[in-house]
Amino acid sequence: MSRYCGPISREEVLVAANRWKQTCLIDGQSIFGFGNIWTSHNIEQLKKYFVENLDYGEGNFLEKLKTQLSETSGDAKILCAEMLWLMLLCPSNIGPPKKRENIEAILSWGNKQLPADDAVLGDLALSGIGSGGTAYNNLRWKELVYCILLFEQFFELGENERKNLLGDGEAFAKWCEKIPDNESRQLRHMLIYLLFPDSFERIFGSSDRVKVVKSFNALENREIRQLTAFELDQQLATIRSEQAAIFQTEEIDWYVPPLKAMWMNTTNSKDATEQTIFPTLLKFLEQANTDNLRTKDYPGTHAGLTMRVSFGMGKQAHVAWVGLLAPEQTPTRGIYPVYSYYREDQLLILTKGISVNSPPAITWEVREDTQTVEQYFQLEHHKSAIRYGDSYVHTIYDLSEDLDQEQVDADLDDLIDEYLSLLGETSLSKVKPLTNLREHEAEPYIVVDDQQPPELEAITIEDAMSDVFLSKEKVENILALLHKKKNIVLQGPPGVGKSFIAKRLAYALMAVKDSARVEMIQFHQSYAYEDFVQGYRPGGTGFELKNGLFHQFCSKAAGDPKRPYVFIIDEINRGNLSKIFGELMLLIEADKRGLDWQVPLTYSKDLGERFYVPENLYLIGLMNTADRSLAMVDYALRRRFAFVDLSAEFKSEGFTRQLRANGADDGMISIITSRMTVLNERISKDIVNLGPGFCIGHSFFCEPPKNEVCDNDWYEQIIRFEIEPLIREYWFDDPSTAQDIVDDLLA
């Protein structure tokens, strides 16, 4: 008898549900007595103005809903209020007064008030029958979309078909499978329980459903997660029958003893003190609101996993965290369950943590509707996650409400079970508490913090460009151009030090040599949008949507908005730029940066998944002007970049200084500068076949010789094995001229 809910009777909830079933689903009338409300016409209005007009802008659920329904009829607004009543019937973690307040708000838009003394609106009927969890509240708009689409199809059926479905729980559950998002929505489980309380369970959270089945059946998480919602229903029904026979009573429930203890807190635990993380979590949250960075007093392990706690290094970080790591998983290379405390937003998020400093060897298994932290913040708070945006959301706790210890423990146990199953039940005997760390040494799982690590010293433009053979004035002009345009291309012939100068410009821009904020990639003819921005890649169980390198770097920069980040693209003209950049052609423009210009990407699942290039990200492209095999740069992309010419600097004082520092005498310096200058003048004047873009750069001679002697042998080696091949390629149709030039260089 699955309607049994323990010693506290919830019969009034089921009575209200039964009245709704007859009044609304069969008769089409209002549950609040406002007439013929449950009709296809009214549902179509809700679909047109809500489902097909989703609002991803600012405002809470009710504020946006009011605007969306402003053009609907009064009856459609009443129907929406009654749908919300239905959606709030099961959750016990929302009190009756708050439920009535929300319902009355929507009714008022249709100039109606809550009916007085109606049992379906009383405290007993609205007391709830099981927790909906924080996800149910945070994604209420998705549940309403599901509700509207389900009843749209339901009322397209004839009256007899509707009655037949409402009389057969199994048929109804199978019929629901045609509704979009059926497998992911908690409202699906609530509806089926309310309609068929003797045949289906009051387990509304997907994680609890999976955990119960795993605890009683010899199935792995992966096998269970492949089951459909209805197949899970069948598993739960079988388990209930078995347990009812064992305990010789039908009055058993998953959330009261004895069954409760049989599936909750089932992770491997070394002692009783590790069975709950709740006291540790409360202590962590309290400390995270102070300047105390001390972590020594926290447990070294929990549930057989190594515990890591971080409040920041040197000062309190924006996001403090508690991570739980299996053997061979580390914050800088691995995956692990982690609590992240977003202090400014008063949110605690349990996530499937991912390292970004080095890609983990194994990846989390996620459902299609699983959000990253970044996606959650964009959708619900209309801003970027300040840290750790690439990790996946498991559970969100709004700290404006008290934490429920039972729910917290159940959520973490579920994630740890999944974690260990994913890692192949790694031997926990390898776990060792981290007792040898110095105070504050715990490293975050994404190393982006507010302060510079102590080894990073501030540098000036002169420091950054000290061994670059450009004048200070030219460097300052390039930096000013980079600040203004956000995107530049350093173009020049081979050997002028484009990649070397690009990194030095990045450090000069940042005023610190921080390699963690500089990323460099190289384009090639096989490089694609899927590598750069986003695309599907093979995973453990098929193809998974993965963010490309530029997407990941943008998320990193967006999480640290006060400091510049520099992305360098070597050989930028070797790729098919239009295909690689896609919609980023728009977003990289200097005046199209930031949240105001966020757009859905090619592989976005819906309009809610949006991307933007942060204002603190700078692009430096590198282009070899002597590569004959390449076409001109796409004009659309050329308009978005400023182009800076780099040339050979054989006559510069810096080059002479560098040669002397490498051990060259004045005679050798004169040979190099004079002969290479003559060669480059010849190349520059040949505007028919070559030109200035084919000159040979100075960097061929900048690397100190290993024997510390810049002698004739060293010079001849460079000419014969590095420069001569270029010359023969330049004059491929005139080998005698090429030979004469080589002879002149070696004379």
pLDDT at 444: 36
> Which of 613, 645, 677 delimits the end of a domain?
645
- Identify which of 229, 266, 221 has the alpha carbon closest to the alpha carbon of residue 366: 221
The yes-or-no verdict on residue 221 having pLDDT over 70 is no
CB atoms near residue 231 (< 10 Å): 12
Mean pLDDT of 417-431: 61
Cis peptide before 258 (omega within 30 of 0): yes
Mean pLDDT of 703-731: 83
Query: Which of 435-439, 495-499, 556-560, 612-616: highest mean pLDDT?
Result: 612-616
pLDDT at 411: 82
Identify whether residues 29 and 63 lie together within a single domain: yes
Residue 31 near residue 85, CB atoms below 8 Å: yes
Q: Concatenated DSSP letters for 558-612?
A: HTSTTS-EEEEEETGGGS-HHHHHTTHHHHTSGGG-SGGG-EE-TT-SSTT-EE-
Residue 219 maps to a domain: no
Identify whether residues 104 and 182 lie together within a single domain: yes
- Identify which of 111, 84, 78 has the alpha carbon closest to the alpha carbon of residue 100: 84
Identify whether residues 657 and 623 lie together within a single domain: no
CATH of the domain at 553: 3.40.50.300
Backbone angles phi, psi at 661, to 5 degrees: -65, -30
Rounded (5°) CA angle 518-519-523: 145
For residue 238, give both structure tokens. Answer: 């079988």
Residue 220 maps to a domain: no
Query: Which of 36-50, 300-314, 595-609: highest mean pLDDT?
Result: 36-50
Beta bridge partners of 617: 565
Q: Alpha carbon 50 to chain centroid distance?
A: 27
Question: Which pLDDT band holds residue 314 (cuts at 50, 70, 90)?
Answer: low
pLDDT at 539: 67
Residue type present at position 446:
I
pLDDT at 281: 94
Q: Concatenated DSSP letters for 356-414?
A: SSS--SS-----TTPPBHHHHHHHHHSS--SS-TTSEEEEEEETTS---HHHHHHHHHH
Identify whether residues 563 and 614 lie together within a single domain: yes
Mean pLDDT of 55-83: 89
Residue 62 maps to a domain: yes
Question: Which pLDDT band holds residue 434 (cuts at 50, 70, 90)?
Answer: very low
pLDDT at 576: 82
Buried b (16+ CB within 10 A) or exposed e, 165-194: bbeebeebbebbeebebbbbbbbbbbbbbb
Q: Using alpha carbons, list the distances in angstroms from residue 21 to 18, 42, 249, 405, 639.
A: 5, 18, 29, 35, 62
Q: What is the mean pLDDT of the chain?
A: 83
Query: Which tens digit of pLDDT belongs to each residue from 633-690?
Result: 566 667 888 899 888 888 888 888 888 877 888 888 889 889 989 998 998 888 888 8
Q: Can you state the angle between helices 206-216 and 229-247, rounded to 10 degrees?
A: 50
Residue 234 maps to a domain: no
Identify whether residues 680 and 600 lie together within a single domain: no
> Which of 171, 204, 237 delimits the end of a domain?
204
Q: What percent of the chain has pLDDT over 70?
A: 89
Helix, strand, coil percentages in the chain from 3-state DSSP, rounded to 5: 45, 10, 45
User: What's the CA gap between 418 and 211, in Å, rounded?
Assistant: 10
Mean pLDDT of 687-709: 80
Question: Which pLDDT band holds residue 126 (cuts at 50, 70, 90)?
Answer: very high
Query: Which of 216-220, 301-305, 539-543, 607-611: highest mean pLDDT?
Result: 301-305
149, 151, 155, 160 alpha-carbon torsion, rounded to 10°: 130
The yes-or-no verdict on residue 404 having pLDDT over 90 is no
Could you tell me which residues come within 8 angstroms of residue 129 by beta carbon, excluding any fewer than 6 positions away?
Answer: 5, 10, 13, 14, 89, 90, 92, 193, 202
Residue 680 maps to a domain: yes
CATH of the domain at 332: 3.30.920.90
The yes-or-no verdict on residue 454 having pLDDT over 60 is no
The yes-or-no verdict on residue 218 having pLDDT over 80 is no
pLDDT at 575: 83
User: What's the CA gap between 29 and 40, in Å, rounded?
Assistant: 12
- Identify which of 615, 610, 613, 556 has the alpha carbon closest to the alpha carbon of residue 585: 613
Rg (CA), the chain: 33
Which of 137-141, 189-193, 437-441, 549-553 is predicted least confidently? 437-441
Residue 237 near residue 1, CB atoms below 8 Å: no
Identify whether residues 616 and 661 lie together within a single domain: no
Residue type present at position 267:
T
Owning domain of residue 599: 461-645
Task: Say what the pTM is.
Answer: 0.50
Residue 51 near residue 149, CB atoms below 8 Å: yes
Q: Using alpha carbons, list the distances in angstroms from residue 137 to 80, 141, 187, 505, 588.
A: 17, 9, 11, 48, 36
The yes-or-no verdict on residue 388 having pLDDT over 50 is yes
User: What's the CA gap between 453 and 513, in Å, rounded?
Assistant: 11
Identify whether residues 641 and 659 lie together within a single domain: no
Which parts of 248-340 fold into alpha helices (H)?
259-263, 278-287
Mean pLDDT of 580-596: 87
- 3-state DSSP assignment of residue 24: helix
pLDDT at 14: 93
Residue 178 maps to a domain: yes
Which carries the bigger pLDDT value, residue 496 or residue 154? 154
Mean pLDDT of 475-498: 89
pLDDT at 616: 93
Residue whose pair of structure tokens reads 């430096």 in the numeric block: 620
Question: Which pLDDT band holds residue 85 (cuts at 50, 70, 90)?
Answer: very high
Identify whether residues 40 and 118 lie together within a single domain: yes
Sheet strand arrangement including 392-398: 301-302, 305-310, 319-325, 335-342, 347-354, 392-398
In the chain, how many domains are there? 4
Identify whether residues 608 and 660 lie together within a single domain: no
The yes-or-no verdict on residue 406 having pLDDT over 70 is yes
> Which of 430, 451, 473 delimits the end of a domain?
430
Residue 17 maps to a domain: yes
β-pairing verdict for 642-645 and 487-492: parallel
For residue 164, give both structure tokens. Answer: 């037949």
Query: Which tens digit of pLDDT belongs to each residue from 499-516?
Result: 889 998 999 888 888 888
Identify whether residues 662 and 640 lie together within a single domain: no
Identify whether residues 588 and 614 lie together within a single domain: yes
The yes-or-no verdict on residue 237 having pLDDT over 70 is yes
Could you tell me which residues come within 8 angstroms of residue 347 by beta carbon, excluding any fewer than 6 positions away?
Answer: 341, 396, 397, 398, 399
Question: Which pLDDT band holds residue 631 (cuts at 50, 70, 90)?
Answer: very low
Residue 239 maps to a domain: no
Identify whether residues 469 and 423 lie together within a single domain: no
